[in-house]
Amino acid sequence: MTAQTMTSEKTSKEGLPDIQSSVDDRNIAISKVGVTSIRWPIRFVSSSQGGTAEQSTTASFDMFVSLPANRKGTHMSRFLQLLSGWDACFSLESLKKFCQTICDKLDSDDAHVTLRFPYFVDRRAPVTGEAGKIQLEVTIDVKSGSQNDLVMTVTGPATSLCPCSKEISARGAHNQRCKLAVSFRCKPQTEISIEELYEMMEQSASTQIFPILKRSDEKWVTEAAYDNPKFVEDIVRDLALALSGDDRIAWYRCSSENYESIHQHNAYGEIESDMSSA
């Protein structure tokens, strides 16, 4: 390809019409427009007062901007360009910067980023010390522009044992795995690591879940749950107390869904902190 041909092609591309930037006469603003379900490898840094932990994972991104009433469309490719060009680790702080960059580069009043990814925490069996990993699910919602906000949600497993079953039964008590979830906002200049939060969550249940259990470990877990029976109501109340007692948390919503072993239904409980205190 000659230099003259390259110059001709460049001039031709620069001369293509930009339809997205044209005027729309319907006069209807769009709250969120963008791209969803972008799978992307990331490095995520979870920080706390005790230090940091970095982990490589794969996230699913949703990225949006608001669109004024007089503009026909947004430039979808720019979302991917910005994500591709972001070579730093993601953290709660860098996600705020990333969201603001989207707002600036797409010339919008508001930007909104949601990412979801698996995050693994180390767990050793209580007696034998057998090492394994538990998968948590993390969702982070970030807003920049006219409203700045960040909410992180962590979902993970634990064990519950029914107090009523223990009380009325001559032998044993039914137990089940429960799915715990916490959404929260931190106060300015503070962070809670995923590891810290999950430890708080599982301590609110009857006992922990472990990836590898030998017989002596299974005995320990069974007896630990039996000695600490909890209804779903107990779990969310204890979790709410723990979250309320952490002065880094500005707002939270916590829940437990217990996958009942002797019923067809699940049991569910949820508590949200007073929004006026956020």
pLDDT at 7: 38
* Third-level CATH fold of 30-277: Urate Oxidase (3.10.270)
Give residue-wise pLDDT tens across range 172-185.
Answer: 888 889 999 999 99
Non-local (6+) Cβ contacts of 83 within 8 A are 38, 40, 61, 63
pLDDT band at residue 6 under the 50/70/90 scheme: very low
Number of neighbouring beta carbons within 10 Å of residue 41: 9
> Once rounded to an integer, what is the mean pLDDT over residues 61-82?
93
pLDDT band at residue 109 under the 50/70/90 scheme: very high
Mean pLDDT of 74-98: 93
User: In the predicted model, is pLDDT for residue 270 greater than 80?
Assistant: yes
Domains of the chain by residue range: 30-277
DSSP annotation of 54 reads: E
Residues 250-267: tens digit of each pLDDT: 999 999 999 888 888 989
Q: What is the pLDDT of residue 14?
A: 63
Reply yes or no on whether the pLDDT at 135 is more than 90. yes
pTM above 0.95, yes or no: no
Residue 2 has a pLDDT of 44
Do 110 and 146 form a contact (C-beta atoms < 8 A)? Answer: yes
- For residue 197, give the nearest of 255, 156, 161 by alpha carbon: 156
DSSP string across 63-107 = EEEEE-TTB----HHHHHHHHHH--SPB-HHHHHHHHHHHHHHTT
Helix (H) or strand (E) run with residue 150 in it: strand 149-161
Which contiguous run of DSSP H or E holds residue 37?
strand 30-48
Token pair for 70? 């007089």
pLDDT, position 263? 85
Give residue-wise pLDDT tens across range 23-51: 778 889 999 999 999 999 999 998 876 77
